[in-house]
Amino acid sequence: MMKSSLSVSCLTLAFFFLSGAQSARITFRNNCPNTIWPGTLTADQKPQLSTTGFELASKAFTSLDVQAPWKGRFWARTGCSTDASGRFSCATAECASGKIACNGNGAVPPASLVEINIVENGGQDFYDVSLVDGFNLPVSVSTEGGTGDCRTSSCSANVNAACPADLQVKDVDGSVIACKSACIAFHQPQYCCTDGFNTPATCPPTNYSMIFENQCPQAYSYAYDDVNSTFTCSAASNYVITFCP
């Protein structure tokens, strides 16, 4: 009896360490002055993470674990409230689930996105900050415990303050709370890199994407802005996503 339960514990322990080596912890920090509501979305029709949306008070942090391989995105909603009928909604980066959990819905643009692709067996992960779907708040992503380049990718500027009038999203009081990408605002192929503009060579930066590029050179300002926007790290044990870094 003793022997078999010990073997089971050893197996459990071995499994824990083996699977532990295949997982990464993602920590969310809210450095913003106000409460935010982060959202998570797992890509490729894979099962969603244990949480798809949660409230995070100013200066608070929380973590969740993901099993490799994992690919998906993170963002944060602002100006959220629950109406008299119990429906939850947000002023920016809404996921339109009517609840704090996004339940497999992505962010309705504009939203600053953190994209992370964690591979198996300590291979090379990819991560970035993307403003391809516009901007709502500053965000950074850094790694801990990995090997290789492993630099922090940050968009710390308030792009809303530099947002041109035709891309602005305003609150009821007239303040700019988010900035659309030109693709989202105008739905034209030269901004979305679609139709005849669907290669890096045929879809150069535009006067609109350059506004995002100048504010946040490390973030994707449009779909083919790869040169300084993709970050890599191998075998990172932790990712730290900081809103308002």
Q: One symbol per residue from 163 to 182: x for binding ligand NAG (CB under 6 A), - otherwise; what is it?
A: -x------------------
**Which lies closer to ligand NAG via its Cβ, residue 94 or residue 213?**
213
CA 237/CA 233 separation, integer angstroms: 10
- Answer yes or no whether residue 45 interacts with ligand NAG by CB under 6 A: no
Among 18, 161, 201, 227, binds ligand NAG (CB under 6 A): 227
Chain position carrying tokens 């969310």: 28
Least distance in Å: CB of 207 to ligand NAG? 4
Structure tokens at 159: 């792009």
Least distance in Å: CB of 12 to ligand NAG? 48
User: Which residues does 72 contact at the CB level (< 8 Å), separation at least 6?
Assistant: 40, 41, 42, 43, 49, 115, 116
**Which lies closer to ligand NAG via its Cβ, residue 120 or residue 226?**
226
DSSP conformational letter for 196: G
- Rounded to the nearest 5 degrees, what angle is found at the Cα of 89, between the Cα atoms of 87 and 94? 140
Q: One symbol per residue from 197 to 226: x for binding ligand NAG (CB under 6 A), - otherwise; what is it?
A: ----------xx------------------
Least distance in Å: CB of 77 to ligand NAG? 27
**Which lies closer to ligand NAG via its Cβ, residue 74 or residue 208?**
208
**Which lies closer to ligand NAG via its Cβ, residue 80 or residue 155?**
155
Least distance in Å: CB of 118 to ligand NAG? 25
The torsion angles phi and psi of 50, rounded to 5 degrees, stand at -60, -25
Closest CA to 138 of 167, 159, 164, 115: 159
Q: How far is CA 9 from CA 4, 6, 12, 21, 57, in A?
A: 9, 5, 5, 18, 39
Least distance in Å: CB of 90 to ligand NAG? 27
Least distance in Å: CB of 111 to ligand NAG? 21
Least distance in Å: CB of 213 to ligand NAG? 7
**Which lies closer to ligand NAG via its Cβ, residue 94 or residue 225?**
225
Structure tokens at 62: 């929380």
Number of residues that bind ligand NAG (CB under 6 A): 5
Interacting residue ranges for ligand NAG, rule: CB under 6 A: 164, 207-208, 227-228
